[in-house]
Amino acid sequence: MESHAPGTRFAYRPEIDGLRAIAVLSVILYHAGGLIPGGYVGVDVFFVISGYLIASIAIRERELGSFRLLAFWERRLRRLFPAWFAMIVVTTVVALALLIPDHLEDFGESLLSQPTFTANFHFWERSGYFEPESEWQPLLHTWSLAVEEQFYLFFPLILPPLLARGKRLATGVVAVLGLSSFALCLYTTSREPEFAFYLLPARIWELNFGVLLALAPGLAARFGPKTRELLGAAGLVLIGVALGCFGPDTPFPGSAALAPCLGTALVILANAHGLTRTGRWLAAPIAVAIGRISYPLYLWHWPCLAFLAYGCIDDAPPWATFAAVALSFLLAWLTYRWIEKPVRDRRRLTTSRSLLLATGIVVIGVVTAGLIFTRSGGLPGRFPDLGRFGIDEILRPKVATIEQWDEKGGPPRLGDLSATGPGMLVWGDSHALALTRLFDELGKTHRVKVTVASMAGVAPVVGAYPAGRGPDQLIHAGRVIDLVRQERFREVILVAKWPMYLTGRSGGELDRILRDDRVRSDEPAESIEVFLRHFPDTLETLRSLGCRVFVMRSVPQQPHRVPEALARIAIRGETPDALAWSVAIHRERDRRENEILDQAVAGTGASLLDPLPFLGDGSGTMPMVREGKALYMDRDHLSPYGSMLLVPLFDELFRASGATGDGE
> pLDDT per residue over 524-537, tens digit each?
678 899 999 999 99
- Averaged pLDDT of the chain: 89
Specify the pLDDT at position 126.
84
Query: Is the peptide bond preceding residue 253 cis, with omega within 30 degrees of 0?
Result: yes
Looking at residues 652-662, what average pLDDT do you find?
81
471 or 172: which carries more pLDDT confidence? Answer: 172
Binned at pLDDT 50, 70 and 90, residue 469 comes out as confident
Looking at residues 174-185, what average pLDDT do you find?
96
Looking at residues 400-410, what average pLDDT do you find?
88
Question: Rounded distance, CA 310 to CA 274, Å?
Answer: 47
Question: Rounded distance, CA 400 to CA 379, Å?
Answer: 33
Binned at pLDDT 50, 70 and 90, residue 664 comes out as very low
Asked whether residue 392 carries a pLDDT value surpassing 50, the answer given is: no
Question: Rounded distance, CA 631 to CA 620, Å?
Answer: 16
Question: Rounded distance, CA 179 to CA 45, Å?
Answer: 18
Q: Where in the chain is the domain with CATH 3.40.50.1110?
A: 397-556+583-615+641-662
Specify the pLDDT at position 575.
78
Residue % of the chain over a pLDDT of 70: 93
Query: What separation in angstroms does the CA of 75 have from each of 2, 56, 72, 489?
Result: 10, 14, 5, 68
Question: Rounded distance, CA 48 to CA 206, Å?
Answer: 6
Beta strands per DSSP E along 379-523: 413-415, 424-428, 449-454, 465-466, 491-495, 514-515
pTM, to two decimals = 0.82
Asked whether residue 314 carries a pLDDT value surpassing 80, the answer given is: no
Specify the pLDDT at position 8.
41
What are the φ/ψ torsions at residue 97 (nearest 5 degrees)? -85, -25
Asked whether residue 185 carries a pLDDT value surpassing 70, the answer given is: yes
577 or 581: which carries more pLDDT confidence? Answer: 581
Kindly report the length of the chain: 664
Beta strands per DSSP E along 359-478: 413-415, 424-428, 449-454, 465-466
List pLDDT tens digits, range 43-87. Answer: 999 999 999 999 998 898 888 888 898 999 999 999 999 999 999
473 or 86: which carries more pLDDT confidence? Answer: 86
Specify the pLDDT at position 369.
97
CATH superfamily of 397-556+583-615+641-662: SGNH hydrolase (3.40.50.1110)
List pLDDT tens digits, range 243-287. Answer: 999 998 788 999 999 999 999 999 999 999 899 999 999 999 999
List pLDDT tens digits, range 203-237. Answer: 999 999 999 999 998 888 899 999 999 999 999 99
